[in-house]
Structure 1
Amino acid sequence: MTLPLAITTAFLITLTTIPVIIKIVKSLDLLDRPDKRKIHSVSTPSLGGIGIFAGIILALLISISFSDLASQKYFLGGIILIFLLGVRDDLSSLLAQHKLVVQIFASFLVVFFGGIKIEGFNGLFGVESFPWILDELFTIFVIVVMTNAFNLIDGIDGLAGSIALVISAFLGWAAFQSGSMIEASIAFSISGAALGFLLYNWYPSKIFMGDTGSMVFGFMLTALMINFLTTPSPPSVIESPVATSLSLFVIPVYDTLRVFLIRFFTGRHPLAPDRNHIHHVLLKLGLNHAQSTLSLITYNTIIISLTVAFQGIGELWLMLFMVLITVSIGAILDRKVIRRESRRLAKIIPPEIELSKTHTSV
């Protein structure tokens, strides 16, 4: 009974609070206005993450006993810190290093005091367990990176919320199959909040989740993924938890690595905003927000399904398969964008003009 209660409560609270947030944000003129690095053309309310956070927290208070919640106090404390950081950043942008300090501290709470940590790779690459302290430091690194990776994919209507819905639904199912009811309630609370928010965030969006929502989603889902990765009794169909975890986050992981490499090889700052994300690529190919989101979510779902279906081939082969197919599809899309841009420039600058320029310079 607690799981349906969790998802229903989170859905209804988020659904009913978002219109209030939209009204308040508009009255205070706290709108996300278009600029050269943003792709929306209309000033839109942000701070939708407040509704998401309210839905998740109230769902947990209703569906989980206080004694069980007490055992999650450091995890909840970390979520609250990330939420406050997101609100502060949405109201007035913070420097990246300031955000990083708070994210590291929130991760420190859940790792060193909450006991959420990656202790090894289940034998992948010969790593069964990490030496002392390295497991804590590596886990903090993973949480911080994935929290920001989730923030980076929140670039078009519906994308971050849809990915959160897919990941949380899978992790909720896995936790339920493992008998981890607290984690299942948390995961399904995220699902309910994501679904309620998507009704207002689907193209054309009435509100954005902002850093508040994307960082809360990223932080919570990464912590749940680590619990899934380290559970002593995973679902019987899961033989490769590392590869399965990667399949859940394949979109944000690929997108983050992709944009960082592009910025590195073009001599730009790794944290400098741009329009090189995978969703920007799809938009450049002529898809709208809804079509781009559906394409990426479909791909994510297919990768998860194939990973679960072929668990028996082993962690390494599954990961190699994911990397190969994801990078290959990304390269094909990039090539299409380059060709499309070349054709566009050819129409703007006819060949005879280029030829005359060449003769003049000679």
Structure 2
Amino acid sequence: MILLLTSLFASLVVCGLLIRYRDWHLRFTGDHDLDGPQKFHEEVTPRIGGLGIAAGLITAIVVGSLTNPPLANSLALMMLAALPVFTFGIAEDLTKRIGVKVRLMAAFISGALFLFLFDIASIRLDIPIVDSLMAYPAVAIFFLAFAIAGLSNAYNIIDGFNGLASMVGIIAATAILYVALKVQDPLVIGLAFITIGSIAGFFLWNYPKGLIFLGDGGAYLIGLLIAIASILLVVRHPSVSPWFALMVNAYPIFETLFTIWRRAVHQGRNPGLPDGAHFHSLIYRRVMRWVYHDGKPHQYLRNAKTSPYLWILSSLGAIPAMLWWDSTSLLMISAAVFIVFYVYAYRTIVTFKTPAVISNRPPPK
């Protein structure tokens, strides 16, 4: 709990200072693009919330070194592994010139560095044919580094509205914490606590008013931490199903895969180009379109009311992961159900058939 409170307090204070003195740095740190397909804010806002999250993590590790040096040393190695992707993410936040391929490569390097530092060279997926391939260290290391990079990017993809990616990260970290307590893994418990605390300190400033944004640095860092914690649980504890790692991150993972399919296959476009057809974008534009204030469309309220829908969607993956963390068969079924529900929900919204129970449309007079 000391790690949780320390990380939360440090993140809260640093983010607060960044907001308080925004006039000093907004010229460099502000998100000045208000018209892009994935832009849903009305004023220039600093997008370096990742600095607050990093400050929370580092402060907790320093405090932890006074009470539990072995744990703090291991957590420090994780922060060292995160340095490449966090650095390039922050660089993109400041310059807007770091391409997605460069950031993905940085995430891949961070993943490979983590695997090297923690001597991880194998993984199981509980699929016989695939597991036979994963028996080769080179294959397993490439797969894991690619998966870490993919999840880091997935959190960046879903970072579209106030509190969205940060709360999804808290939900995933909470599920990981629950299982880590079940199997009594102090390293993952410590990582989950400081991850939750650091994100929560940022979240309190970001939601609902969006006083500071996560930015690429923050989104990639959260994704990396969740990926690392998920992998550690599976690798270190045979009782934990590898499908737990999938289900606890079901929403960002499937959102990414579905986006790639939608852009590359369905639309024949470059999957790396931004668009406004993400699930969260559709909810904002078609479910929240009826949110008015004083007779006018209210962008702030629409933004704030969009994220809870996706928090629920994320929980539909995290809850089965917590319930059946040791059962591959049940988690496979849960994954199939999640995918069917996601596609059904997406299709109903995109075809203007949103169920009345979730629609904000006022009743006809």
1:264-321 deviation digits (Å, cap 9, x = unpaired) = 1322211111111110010012322232211111222233224444665534323322
Residue from 74, 82, 104 that aligns with 1:79: 82
Letter in 2 for 1:323: I
Deviation at residue 61 of structure 1 after TM alignment? 2.2
Q: Secondary structure at the match of 2:134?
A: coil
In structure 1, what is the equivalent of residue 358 of structure 2?
A: none
Task: Spell out the pairing of 1:136-285 with structure 2 (5 A cutoff).
Answer: 136-232=141-237, 234=239, 241-264=241-264, 265-285=266-286
Residue in 1 aligned with 2:334? 318
Residues 118 and 208 (structure 1), Cα distance of their counterparts in 2 relative to 1, 3 Å cut? farther
Task: Report the alpha carbon displacement of residue 324 of structure 1 after superposing the two structures with TM.
Answer: 2.0
Cross-structure match for 1:62: 63
Answer yes or no: is the 8 Å Cα contact 2:108–2:145 preserved in 1: yes
| Residue number in structure 1 paired with 2:131 | 127
1:334: Cα distance to partner? 2.1
- Whether 1:296 and 2:310 are equivalent positions in the alignment is yes
Residues 42-78 of structure 1, C-alpha deviations (whole Å, 9 max, x = no match): 1111101101110012112222533333345542211
1:326 Cα offset (Å):
2.2
- Structure-1-length-normalised TM-score: 0.84
**Counterparts of 1:83 and 1:247, CA distance in 2:** 25
Report the equivalent of 2:115: 111
Q: How far apart, CA to CA, are the structure 1 residues paired with 2:271 and 2:261?
A: 8
Q: 1:326 to 1:125 in 2, by over 3 A?
A: farther
One-letter amino acid of the counterpart of residue 31, structure 1 = G
Q: What secondary structure is seen at the aligned counterpart in 1 of 2:111?
A: helix
TM-score (norm 2): 0.83
In structure 2, relative to structure 1, the CA distance for the partners of 1:334 and 1:118 (3 Å cut) is farther
**C-alpha deviation, 1:243, in angstroms:** 2.9
8 Å contact kept, 1:120–1:129 = no
CA RMSD in angstroms comes to 2.3
Which region of structure 1 is more displaced relative to structure 2, 279-288 or 308-317? 308-317
Counterpart check, 1:36 vs 2:4: no
Q: What is the deviation of 1:196?
A: 1.3
CA–CA distance in 2 between the matches of 1:188 and 1:71?
Answer: 14
Once the two structures are superposed, residues 64-97 of structure 1 have per-residue CA deviations (whole angstroms, 9 ceiling, x without a partner) of 5333333455422111222222211110121223
Structure 1 unaligned regions, length at least 5 = 340-362
Asked if the contact 2:148/2:228 (under 8 Å) is kept, the reply is yes
Q: Write the letter of the residue equivalent to 1:189.
A: I
Shift of 1:25: 3.5
**SS of alignment partner, residue 319 of structure 1:** helix
| TM-superposed deviation, 1:125 | 6.1
| TM-fit CA distance, 1:157 | 0.6
Distance 1:116 1:335, change over 3 A: farther
For structure 2, which runs of at least 5 residues remain unmatched after alignment? Answer: 289-301, 356-365
State the match for 2:297 in structure 1. Answer: none
Q: 1:89 corresponds to which letter in structure 2?
A: E
Q: CA 1:62–1:246 in structure 2 vs 1: closer, same or farther (change >3 Å)?
A: same
CA distance in 2, matches of 1:315, 1:87: 36
8 Å Cα contact 1:72-1:114 kept in structure 2: no
| Equivalent position of 2:296 in the other structure | none
> Is the 1:121–1:128 contact (alpha carbons within 8 Å) kept by the matching residues of 2?
no
Cα distance per residue 1:189-228 (max 9 Å; x no partner): 1101111111111122101010111011001110111112
CA distance in 2, matches of 1:182, 1:126: 28
Q: How much has 1:21 moved relative to structure 2?
A: 1.1
> After superposition, where does 1:304-343 map in structure 2 within 5 Å?
304-309=318-323, 313-336=329-352
Question: How far 1:337 moved relative to its partner?
Answer: 6.8
CA distance in 1, matches of 2:103, 2:169: 21
Question: What residue identity is the alignment partner of 1:113?
Answer: L
Taking the aligned partners of 2:322 and 2:74, their CA distance within structure 1 comes to 31
**Once the two structures are aligned, what percentage of the paired residues are identical?**
21
Q: Distance in 1 between matches of 2:75 and 2:36?
A: 42
Cα drift, residue 338 of structure 1: 9.7
Q: Work out whether residues 47 and 212 of structure 2, in 8 Å CA contact, stay in contact via their aligned partners in 1.
A: yes
Deviates more, 1:154-163 or 1:115-124: 115-124
Decide whether aligned partners of structure 1 residues 144 and 284 sit closer, same or farther in structure 2, where only a CA change above 3 A counts: same
- In structure 2, give the amino acid aligned to 1:143: I
User: Which is greater in Rg?
Assistant: 1
Alignment match of 1:11 (pick from 8, 19, 23): 8
